[in-house]
């Protein structure tokens, strides 16, 4: 069950990456508020190097980022940088033109939260978002009713919730088949004399084991093919080649930020 405008009657819970002040939307609290498109619409993403991803996004996201699984729940995320607070795909508050923008990012400043008391989902907005204010270009309410903008956000969040549940089922399937293994992303720098330097670990994460996948019975592989999971698995595996791109991007950014010495 979902709700747009009722105040929550119990504690809210949920994943709120990016959200500093999520509030259940209501006319009483937000009737005068709206959203004005920002010059730097994705500046809020610049301080994180991983963003959650749903399984149906694996194919388009694989063209831009490594898709990895993290944490005890093996949450699929895209790696957008090599350092915790450094996103290599955000330039001047916007995504690179060639980068896929995950749905988790596109739904901001809206998000669903759980009202555990009444067992329902409530649409919330991040009151702390820089582009949410009074006298804004796009109102949240028209009269006392949610505006078309809010209704569209509700639909987007509903769809996202369905994809989130589908992603949980996908991860459970891989877990039940024991397909995960722990992997590392490593980088070997070159010494001044051209010899390999000391290996540096960039990340540790979960990934699908190709050996375990190949060892599955033929009928199970057919089942994975028919339910679409096999294509998503291969999108994930191919995406891991993107670590080299991240390394190259990190070097390019570092070179651009290094001051050029003046001629003596």
Q: Give domain status of residue 250, yes or no.
A: yes
Task: State how many domains the chain has.
Answer: 1
- The domain in which residue 126 lies consists of 2-257
Q: Give domain status of residue 49, yes or no.
A: yes
More confident residue, 20 or 10: 20
Q: What percent of the chain has pLDDT over 90?
A: 74
H or E element, residue 111: strand 110-115
| pLDDT tens, position by position, 35-59 | 998 889 999 999 999 999 999 999 9
| Residue 260: band (very low, low, confident or very high) from pLDDT cuts 50, 70, 90 | low
Q: Give domain status of residue 138, yes or no.
A: yes
Q: Give domain status of residue 263, yes or no.
A: no
Q: Give domain status of residue 21, yes or no.
A: yes
Q: Give domain status of residue 149, yes or no.
A: yes
Give yes or no for residue 6 having a pLDDT over 80: no
Q: Give domain status of residue 194, yes or no.
A: yes
| pLDDT tens, position by position, 78-127 | 999 998 888 999 999 999 999 999 999 999 999 998 876 767 889 999 99
More confident residue, 262 or 143: 143
Predicted local distance difference test score (pLDDT) of residue 196: 77
Q: What is the pTM of this model?
A: 0.87
| Residue 10: band (very low, low, confident or very high) from pLDDT cuts 50, 70, 90 | very low
Predicted local distance difference test score (pLDDT) of residue 15: 46
Predicted local distance difference test score (pLDDT) of residue 200: 84
Q: Give domain status of residue 264, yes or no.
A: no
| Residue 254: band (very low, low, confident or very high) from pLDDT cuts 50, 70, 90 | confident
């Amino acid at each position: 069950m979902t709700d747009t405008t009722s105040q929550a009657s119990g504690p809210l819970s949920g994943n709120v990456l990016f959200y500093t002040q999520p509030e259940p939307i209501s006319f009483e609290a937000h009737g005068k508020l709206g959203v004005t498109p920002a010059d730097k619409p994705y500046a809020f993403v610049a301080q994180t190097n991983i963003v959650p991803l749903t399984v149906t996004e694996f194919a388009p996201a694989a063209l831009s980022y490594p898709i990895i699984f993290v944490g005890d729940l093996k949450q699929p995320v895209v790696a957008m940088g090599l350092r915790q607070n450094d996103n290599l795909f955000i330039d001047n508050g916007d995504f690179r033109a060639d980068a896929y923008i995950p749905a988790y990012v596109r739904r901001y400043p809206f998000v669903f939260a759980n009202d555990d008391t009444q067992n329902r989902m409530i649409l919330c907005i991040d009151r702390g978002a820089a582009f949410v204010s009074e006298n804004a270009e796009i109102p949240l309410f028209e009269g006392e009713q949610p505006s078309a903008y809010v209704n569209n956000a509700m639909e987007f969040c509903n769809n996202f919730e369905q994809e989130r549940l589908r992603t949980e089922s996908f991860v459970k399937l891989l877990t039940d088949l024991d397909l995960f293994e722990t992997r590392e992303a490593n980088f070997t720098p070159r010494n001044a004399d051209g010899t390999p330097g000391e290996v540096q670990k960039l990340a540790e994460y979960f990934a699908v084991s190709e050996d375990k996948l190949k060892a599955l019975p033929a009928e199970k592989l057919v089942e994975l093919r028919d339910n679409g999971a096999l294509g998503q698995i291969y999108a994930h595996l191919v995406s891991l080649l993107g670590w080299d791109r991240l390394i190259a991007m990190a070097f390019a950014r570092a070179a651009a930020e290094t001051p050029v010495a003046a001629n003596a």
